[in-house]
Amino acid sequence: MADYQYNRVLLKLSGEALMGSGDFGIDGEVLGRLAEQIREVHDDGIELGIVVGGGNIFRGMSEAANGMDRAQADYMGMLATVQNALALQDAFEHAGIDTRVMSAIEMRAICETYIRRRAVRHMEKGRVVIFAAGTGNPYFTTDTAAALRACEINADCLMKATKVDGIYDKDPVTNPDAVRFDQISYREVLMRGLRVMDATATALCQENHMPIIVFDIEQPHVFRDALSGEPVGTTVIE
């Protein structure tokens, strides 16, 4: 069993991370690989909460730009995160991981409603908790929901799974000379306008001394390695 540096973790999974090489929706193989990564650390007793995004299905801002009322579009975005949460729960249960979905907006027929103490209790009992519907409020993002839930459940760190292996000084996809940071401060992230998480989420982590680890979820065993304190991706701290 690995020697872990963090015991309770909040993992932020963007909708994009679920869509694999496609440009919309959910890729079953990606879900399967993800479930394996989660199972590896879950079996070792790591307590895990997950905030899932919805950008692979619906993004409020984009629809608002096309003329839809912003709050209305954001509620649709939040519903998209619930779809992803249910897909994740299904994949996790197939991998033998006990999982609960808790939504910030009440949907009693399909999942539990988020209650902080109940979420913590689930994790203590070894259940992975998937937080759906973001913060439950329009004009926010699931990054902010992740920062908020990480603080609320007293997570040791917030891990942000992306398709890139850390934070770069410029977009590594379009700039081959981009340099990756091993470690960077919240202040520098905000000052340089690095788009690792939105500013609200970064500021919330900064105020509450919540470390953020950004890593590429597609690398084998990366989640276990990151939790063991091995140098994986980029860490954002004081």
Residues in contact with ligand UDP by the rule CB under 6 A: 14-16, 53-55, 59-61, 73-74, 77-78, 80-81, 134-135, 137-138, 140-143, 145
Q: Which is nearer to ligand UDP, 48 or 146 (CB)?
A: 146
Q: Which is nearer to ligand UDP, 112 or 198 (CB)?
A: 198
Bridge-based pairing state of the strands 157-162 and 112-113: unpaired
Residue 233, annotated as binding a ligand: no
Amino acid in the structure at residue 115: I
CB of 167 to ligand UDP, least distance (A): 16
Q: Which is nearer to ligand UDP, 69 or 230 (CB)?
A: 69
Is 55 labelled as part of a ligand binding site?
Answer: yes
235 annotated to bind ligand: no
In the chain the first and final C-alpha atoms are separated, in Å, by: 30
Tell me whether residue 49 or residue 77 sits nearer to ligand UDP (CB atom): 77
DSSP secondary structure, 48-117, as one string: EEEEE--TTT--HHHHHHTTS-HHHHHHHHHHHHHHHHHHHHHHHHHTT--EEEEESS--TTTSEEP-HH
- Do the annotations mark residue 156 as ligand-binding? no
**Smallest distance from the beta carbon of 154 to ligand UDP, in angstroms?**
20
Backbone angles phi, psi at 200, to 5 degrees: -60, -45
Residue 174, token pair as written in the block: 């379009």
* Residues annotated within a binding site for ATP: 12-15, 55, 59, 162, 168, 171
* Residues annotated within a binding site for UMP: 54, 74, 135-142
